[in-house]
Chain A
Amino acid sequence: MSNQQVEAAPTQPKVENPRVKAMKDFYRRLKKNVPALIGFYTILILVIFSFIGPWMLSADPSDTDVINKFAGPSAEHWFGTDHLGRDIFTRIVHGMKLTLGIGFASVFMGAAMGIPIGIIAGYYGGKIDAVIMRLIDILLAFPGILLALAIVSILGGNLINVTIAVAIYAIPGFARIIRGSTLAAKNLEYVDAIKALGAGDGRIIFKHILPNVLSPVIVNATLYIATAILTAAGLSFLGMGAQPPRPEWGAMLNDGRSYMRDAGHIAFFPGMAIVIVVLAFNIFGDGLRDALDPKMKK
C-alpha cells in the first residue's frame, strides 16, 4: 500500500471519549449486581452525609444533658442518649467523618507505600525482590490488630497514629498484589517493545506497567477500607485510638459497654453504624471485583 492510496481523513462521526465509554461500561456491569449497587450508594450517601450532616444538626456532640441521661430512643433523641446525656445520633453523625476519614486515609497511605514497594520487587526481581518480600513476610507474620496495637503503643494513642498504624498494616497486602501482577506484566511483549524504543526503567514501571496492574489494587483498596475501619474502631474501643470526648464509633462502643444490660442502645447504635459501613464497603468491593474482571464481561 502506498501513501497515495491513503485517503484524506473524512469527517469522522463524533467519537465518544474512550474513558467516558469505559466508565459507562463499568457502571453498566456494576448495575447488574444489586447488592454491590446498594453498597455503592450507601457509601456515597454516608460520605455526603458525613460532610453535610454535622452542619444540619444543631446540637454539639459533646453537649451533655444530665437530666436525660440513659434516655432510650425517642422523637427528640432518635438513638437515645448516653451515660452523660449526649445525643447518640448527633455523635454518630459527627463520628462518621472520623471513621470514614481513617478508613480512606490509612488505605491511601498504605497503597502509596505498598504499590511502589511491590512494583519494584516484581520488576527488578532477584535479590531486591527476595529482601523486600522477606520484610513483607515479617510484617505479615503479626496478626493485624496486634501489629497496629504495637505501633500505636510506640507512637502514642491518637487518631493520626491509629491511621499510620493501620496504613503500615495495609502495606503487605498491596505490595504482594502489585508484585504478582507486575511479575506477569513485565514479561508481556509491549514492555519489551517499549524497552526496544529506548525507554528507561522509571518510564516503563510507572507509565507502562502501573496502569496495567492497578485494577486488583482498586478492589483490594475498597475491601481494605472496611478492615481499616474495623481495626481503627477496635483500637479506639481498646482506648488506644480516639480519646474522649471525640465521638469515634469504637470509643462510643466502649462507653456503652458498661451499660449494656440497662441501656443497650448506647452500644447498639454505634455498633450498628460500624456494621453498616463495613458491610457496604465489603459488598461494594466484591461487586467491583466482578465488574472489573474482564472475564465477566458480556
Chain B
Amino acid sequence: MSQETILEVNDLRTSFFVEGNEVKAVDGVTFDVPKGKTLGIVGESGSGKSISALSILQLIDSPGEIVGGEINFKGDNLLKYNDNQMRKIRGNQISMIFQEPMTSLNPVYTVGQQLREALKIHRGLGKEAGTEKAVELLELVGIPSPRSRVTQYPFELSGGMRQRVMIAMALACDPELLVADEPTTALDVTIQAQILELLKELQDEFNMSIIMITHDLGVVAETCDYVAVMYCGKVVEYADVHTLFKNPRHPYTVGLLNSLPRSDMDQEELEPIRGTVPAPHEMPVGCRFAPRCPFATDLCHEKLPELEDVGDEEQVRCWIYTDEWDGDPEVKVYEPEARTAKD
C-alpha cells in the first residue's frame, strides 16, 4: 500500500455454529482501510459484509465466533485484545453506526442521556460537562436547536434526525475509524443524500476513516474511495472506486454493474445475474461464483482462486486473470463499455 493504512484485515474468518454445523459467514476476508479515506464494502444480503463489520469491533454474539485471521488497527491485532481492552476501543477509537435508526436508540432515555453515555464511559464526563458536549455534537451533525433536542426522547424525532443522533453518539469521542453498517438503507433518498453528505463533511473535518457497508452501488459511487466487493463470505474484488466502475474485473462485479439501470442509455430491460446465491451449507468447492458465472470453466468449478494483485492497488479473486486460465483468452480483455463513476 502506498499510503498509511489505519486498519488491515487479514484472512478474517467468522463462523456460526448451528446444530453442529459450521456456517462460514466470513471466510478469509482481507482488506485495508487507508487513513482518512472511505472503504466501501459491497455485496448482497448474506455476503458477510455486516458480519465483517461486527467482527472488527468483536460484537459477534454466540453462536457466532471469530475463528481466525488478524485485524490490525494501527499496528495492533485487535483479536489479541481482551474484553476490557476492546471496550476501550469501541466507541472511542472505532465507532459504529447501524442500519435502523428507529430502533438503535434506547426508547426510555432522552437523546442527551444517550449522548452522555459514551462520554461518561470513555471520558468520565459528568452530567453538566456531558450535556454541554452533547449539545455541541448535535450542532455538529446539523440538528437545529440542539439545546432543546437533548431533553427529547427518540420517539419525538424523525428517522433522519435519529440517524444524525446516532452519528453524533458515534463521534462523541473523536474516533479514528467509523464503521457505518448500511447507514442510509432505512431512510428515504433525500435524507439519504443529506446523511451521506454529512458523513463526508465530518470525515474531512476530523480526518476520519470510514468503512461504508452497503448494497447500494450508488452510495459507493457517491462516498467511497476504495471498494471491496464481497460474495459468499469472500472478497472477490478490491479496487479504487474509479477503477471499479470503469474497469470492473470480476464477472460478479461486472454483473452487478450491468444490472443497474442507467440514465445514459436506452435499456429495454435490465440484465440480471442469473441463478441464485448458493446456500451456506452447500458452498461450491471451486470459485463461489462459478455456478452463476457465464465464463466458468472446469477449473473454476474445481479450484478456488486466490485474491491476486492485478494492478496497482487492485486485487481480484478470479482464474481469468491468472496464467492458469484455460477458457476463452478473449474474456481476459473483456471490458464492458467504459463507465464513469460519479464524482
Contact = CB atoms under 8 A, between A and B. Distances in A.
B100 A189 contact: yes
A195 interface: yes
B144 interface: yes
Contacts of B90: 195-198
A196 B62 contact: no
B98 A15 contact: no
Interface in B133-180: 139-140, 142-148, 151, 153, 166, 169-170, 172
Contacts of B169: 193, 197
A125 B88 CA distance: 25
Given A3-B139, A7-B144, A198 B110 contact: no
Contact of A203 (B109, B121, B139, B144): B121
Contact of A6 (B59, B62, B95, B142): B142
A197 B91 contact: yes
Contacts of B144: 6-7
Contact of B57 (A10, A196, A200, A208): A196
Contact of B98 (A6, A189, A211): A189
Interface stretch (B6-14, B25-33, B71-79, B193-201): B193-201
Nearest to A8: B145
Interface in A77-129: 125-126
Contacts of B104: 189-190, 192-193
A58 interface: no
Contacts of B98: 189, 192-193, 196
Interface residues of A, number: 30
B245 to A, nearest CB: 27
B62 A212 contact: no
A194 interface: yes
A192 to B, nearest CB: 6
B91 A196 contact: yes
A190 B118 contact: no
Given A6-B139, A193-B98, A198-B92, A212 B146 contact: no
A190 to B, nearest CB: 4
A212 B87 CA distance: 23
B103 A188 contact: yes
Contact of B87 (A2, A125, A193, A200): A200
A12 B108 contact: no
Contacts of B194: 1
A21 to B, nearest CB: 10
B57 A6 contact: no
B106 interface: yes
Interface in A159-215: 188-190, 192-200, 203, 208, 211-212
Given A193-B105, A197-B117, A212-B107, A6 B143 contact: yes
A121 to B, nearest CB: 14
Contacts of B197: 1
B96 interface: yes
Interface string B108-123: 1110000001100110
Q: Which of A18, A193, A203 has the most CB of B within 10 A?
A: A193
A23 interface: no
A6 to B, nearest CB: 5
Interface string B15-59: 000000000000000000000000000000000000000000101
A12 B150 CA distance: 13
Interface string A1-37: 1110111111010010010000000000000000000
Given A12-B148, A189-B103, A198 B139 contact: no
Given A9-B148, A197-B117, A192 B122 contact: no
Given A3-B139, A18-B110, A18-B153, A196 B145 contact: no
Contact of A197 (B99, B118, B140): B118
Given A9-B145, A9-B147, A195-B90, 19 more contacts: A1-B194, A12-B145, A18-B110, A189-B99, A189-B104, A190-B105, A192-B98, A193-B166, A194-B117, A196-B57, A197-B91, A197-B169, A197-B170, A198-B90, A198-B91, A199-B117, A199-B121, A200-B87, A212-B106
Interface of A: 1-3, 5-10, 12, 15, 18, 125-126, 188-190, 192-200, 203, 208, 211-212
12 contacts: A1-B142, A3-B140, A6-B139, A9-B148, A12-B145, A188-B103, A196-B91, A197-B91, A197-B117, A198-B91, A203-B117, A212-B107
